[in-house]
Structure 1
Amino acid sequence: ALLDQAANTFFSNDLDRRAAFIVVHRGRIIKEEYGSGAHADMQLESWSMGKSMTATFIGRLIQMGHLELWQPAPLPEWQYVPDDPRAEIRIADLLRMSSGLRFSGGGSTREQMAASYIPGEPDHGLGYSAPIDVFQFSVSRDAEHPPNTVGRYRNSDPWTLGYIVRRTVENELGEEYLTWPQREVFDKIGIRRFVAETDIYGNFILTGYNYGTARHWARLGQLYLQRGMWDGERLLPEEFVDFVQTPAPGWDEPIYGGQFWLNTADESGRGRRVPSLPTDAYNAAGAGDQYTYVIPSRDLVIIVMSHRGGGNMAPDRRTREHEALGLAVKAVDPGWNWR
């Protein structure tokens, strides 16, 4: 009954354009509903949940022995230039959105916007609107802050990680980059027909322009819930799974890990981004309310997805979404109380 109540709450207002609600407990789907014309086989706009996919590719290459979490980013554009401060940027710093690259976006000052690649235009969105090589664009930006000192949400860092993935797959493995994610990640965890669009240079964008079914994202969440194991095969190192859910020290608040958002709270219990979820919850997040929640303490993965475009969203949609999430947790843990 609580799961029905959770789903009904999530889908209660058509203005929200809710698409999918899935609850996975101990590896089994215990609730799955769709709305607004969506269905189980529909690839849905996933937006920045793709950042967590890029992180997963990095983790896979670390497990395969081709990269190390704490190594400086293996990029000739930074490593082969004498006294280039960017040579100090580590893979871990990029995962933490703490590279320090000069890259304008939300919260940038007027001066920072003036220093954009196109003055006045945010660098963060350029990969969606300009015919550019998003990887080269990112690594060509100079250093604004020392790495791991300033955390800010910028596409430069996942795009640079994507470049590292491409260079490693093509140059070290000698494999076809465009099919590598399917072979080494998706096939292994049962994802078929995930759509990842590229820029005109054939680089997976994965900060947007990617489309997965809700079940695809449930499988990704389950991989992390299982601490990088799938069917007896280790796909991601345990250290990596721990890292992505550990607060990044460069951020002002402990809300970001490694291409995943966190739900940590201070000693008084304040600060949780989703007050109806336990503090060990962490999640992939995309524009327009796309979320993959991993909740290790309750052996839960919860997927919520919505259609982003068009119309006005109901003003209380976030409240109802959080209520639905809390009810889903309470369904497996009757003692859970967040109010």
Structure 2
Amino acid sequence: MKIMSGIHHGFRGRAAVGGVLLVAACVSGCGEPRTVSGEVSEDDEAVHERSHIAGMAAHHICSGVFVVGRDYERSVEEVVAQDIRRFELFNWQDDFEYDVNFETRTASVSGADFGTRSAEYNGDQGCTILPADLDDVTYEPQVVERLGPDPAATAWPTGDVGAYHDPPPPEVDMAALEAALDWTMAQTEHNTRALVVIYAGKILGERYAPGFTRNTPQISWSQGKSIASALVGAAIQAGHLDAGLDDPVPVPEWHGEGDPRREIRVRDILNMSSGLDFLNLGLTDSLSWTHANEHFRIYFEGIDVFEHAIDQPMDTLPGAVFRYRNSDPLTANHIVREAAEARGEDWLTYPQRVLFDRIGARNYVLETDAWGNFIISGYDYGSAWDWARFGLLHLWDGVWPTPDGGSDRILPEGWVEFVSTPAPGADALQYGGLFWLNRGGSLPRAPEDAYWAAGFMGQYTAIIPSYDLVVVRLGPSPGDTGAYLSDIIGEVTAAIDR
């Protein structure tokens, strides 16, 4: 491990006492954990668990300081206090110590029994948890240039000029809308740090917590799964990925003779219905911080996440059952990487070129493992206006208005209909193509046609076609974020006379 010679921040905090389940962390049909090879004593297992807890904490400190870009030294204490220690589910231990080295741009968390877990910042690739046997990433980090037009001189939505309604549309009760925004921010237990409401293509209102702006990249967690979906669509539309929704997933390891995984289609992995045996234990099970929790290992262990995703057997038929599993969006991103690199594309800049530049999104940071694979199912950062543009792309059926007055089809025709249609295995009509849906009424105050990119602790980009509306909400919430989103949408839609 790297020697951390920078600023040391010793810390003794209260012991964590459990936590709460992630939204949809484990749906019916999770199955039983497969046997983990090797005999491990209870004492050794406890050390591994503490090491894993420290690995995730090191990541959060590193990204909270260097990716979000708070005021450096002051921000170290803020990140630990506001983003980790306050939430019991992260299981911060009272004997952990943490270090941040601003010269090497690394963060570490240490314990007497397991040593040190470290994460390093690699610029536009964000922060990476280092495996125990590596002191650096194995790839060459790349600068991801933002090649879109100057936002200060370019019209909205690609640029920032004219982003706001002026005057507001007559059907909007602006007093009620402002009250809805104020109410949202007043629910302080939810820690909302950014809120944006976009109606009829432009911004109606927005709010930001102190220290955060429209361009601050914030951890978006599983909203990145919806980015994975869009990258598949954009790669297909661009002719880079030679596979359609009903084609077998082009993972060579799945196509051996007699391998049942050869029947998994692209639509199955986008519907979270691959049938792969990939256990999701949430963060409150007795095995949550162990190897058995395959869904969460990618967030704390420092492994090759693409290899981990595709190197799994099946335990149900593809397309039959919706189960929330990181294996599926990671596999989706894996096949895009393989297709892009086969064309000679630079993978680390590919999402910016094929998607983000084209919609004027300039602040996304997709973090990687030590092998340069995007951990796009959770370790992704985006700003409020980035997510607003992403929502508009879907509201507008995958077609983007260009600054010259033309249009750019970024997602294939019919793609948005696919991602917003319930997966065949989603019995409650709650999930589509790596987007959550309201077809089954899970958000009682939102219209039935609402669908949204959703991330842990209440990261949301909601698209509501019947209201020509996009609502973005960011910030770490420990509460019932589904009910909170429902109320936000309910308050906002009540201010619009449709």
Q: Fold conserved (TM > 0.5)?
A: yes
Cα gap change, 1:316/1:127 in structure 2, threshold over 3 Å: closer, same or farther? closer
Amino acid at match of 1:74: P
1:165 match: 336
Cα gap change, 1:15/1:37 in structure 2, threshold over 3 Å: closer, same or farther? farther
2:496 match: 332
- Cα offset for 1:14? 2.2
1:269 match: none
1:303 match: 472
Cα gap change, 1:135/1:318 in structure 2, threshold over 3 Å: closer, same or farther? closer
* Residue of structure 2 aligned with 1:280, choices 449, 453, 467: 449
Number of residue pairs aligned between Structure 1 and Structure 2: 316
- Secondary structure of the residue aligned to 1:47 is coil
Aligned 1:179-198 pairs, distance under 5 A = 179-198=349-368
Distance 1:167 1:317 in 2: 36
Instruction: Give the percent of matched residue pairs that are identical in Structure 1 and Structure 2.
Output: 43
- Secondary structure of the residue aligned to 1:241 is helix
* Residue of structure 2 aligned with 1:251, choices 409, 413, 426: 426
Distance 2:346 2:253 in 1: 22
2:317 match: 146
Amino acid at match of 1:62: I
Asked if the contact 2:443–2:482 (Cα under 8 Å) also holds between the matched residues in 1, the reply is no
Cα gap change, 1:215/1:181 in structure 2, threshold over 3 Å: closer, same or farther? same
Distance 2:279 2:359 in 1: 36
1:89 match: 264
- Cα offset for 1:316? 7.2
- Cα offset for 1:132? 1.2
Query: Greater relative contact order: 1 or 2 (C-alpha under 8 angstroms, separation 6 or more)?
Result: 1
Distance 1:138 1:177 in 2: 18
Asked if the contact 2:443–2:485 (Cα under 8 Å) also holds between the matched residues in 1, the reply is no
Distance 1:301 1:187 in 2: 20
Asked if the contact 1:69–1:240 (Cα under 8 Å) also holds between the matched residues in 2, the reply is no
2:148 match: none
Q: Indicate whether 1:74 and 2:243 are aligned.
A: no
Distance 1:52 1:317 in 2: 18
2:180 match: 6
Distance 1:318 1:251 in 2: 18
Q: Indicate whether 1:100 and 2:275 are aligned.
A: yes
- Cα offset for 1:253? 1.4
* Residue of structure 2 aligned with 1:225, choices 389, 392, 395: 395
Distance 2:426 2:413 in 1: 23
1:38 match: 212
Asked if the contact 2:223–2:459 (Cα under 8 Å) also holds between the matched residues in 1, the reply is yes
Q: Indicate whether 1:27 and 2:201 are aligned.
A: yes
Aligned 1:41-56 pairs, distance under 5 A = 41-56=215-230
Cα gap change, 1:158/1:326 in structure 2, threshold over 3 Å: closer, same or farther? same
2:132 match: none
Asked if the contact 2:458–2:482 (Cα under 8 Å) also holds between the matched residues in 1, the reply is no
Residues 73-100 of structure 1 deviation map (CA, whole Å, 9 limit, x = unaligned): 0111112x11100000011000000000
1:268 match: none
Range 209-218 or range 321-330, more displaced = 321-330
2:461 match: 292
Residues 105-138 of structure 1 deviation map (CA, whole Å, 9 limit, x = unaligned): 048xx9xx99x9x66x310001111121111111
Q: Indicate whether 1:201 and 2:371 are aligned.
A: yes
Distance 1:30 1:218 in 2: 12
* Residue of structure 2 aligned with 1:136, choices 307, 315, 331: 307
Stretches of structure 2 that go unaligned for 5 or more consecutive residues are 1-174, 402-406
- Cα offset for 1:252? 2.7
RMSD between aligned alpha carbons? 2.1
- Cα offset for 1:330? 2.0
Distance 2:304 2:374 in 1: 10
- Cα offset for 1:297? 1.0
Residues 226-246 of structure 1 deviation map (CA, whole Å, 9 limit, x = unaligned): 000012011001221110000
Q: Indicate whether 1:17 and 2:180 are aligned.
A: no
Amino acid at match of 1:324: I
- Cα offset for 1:159? 0.6
Distance 2:484 2:379 in 1: 27
Structure 1 runs, 4 residues or longer, greater than 6 Å off: none
- Cα offset for 1:36? 5.0
- Cα offset for 1:286? 0.2
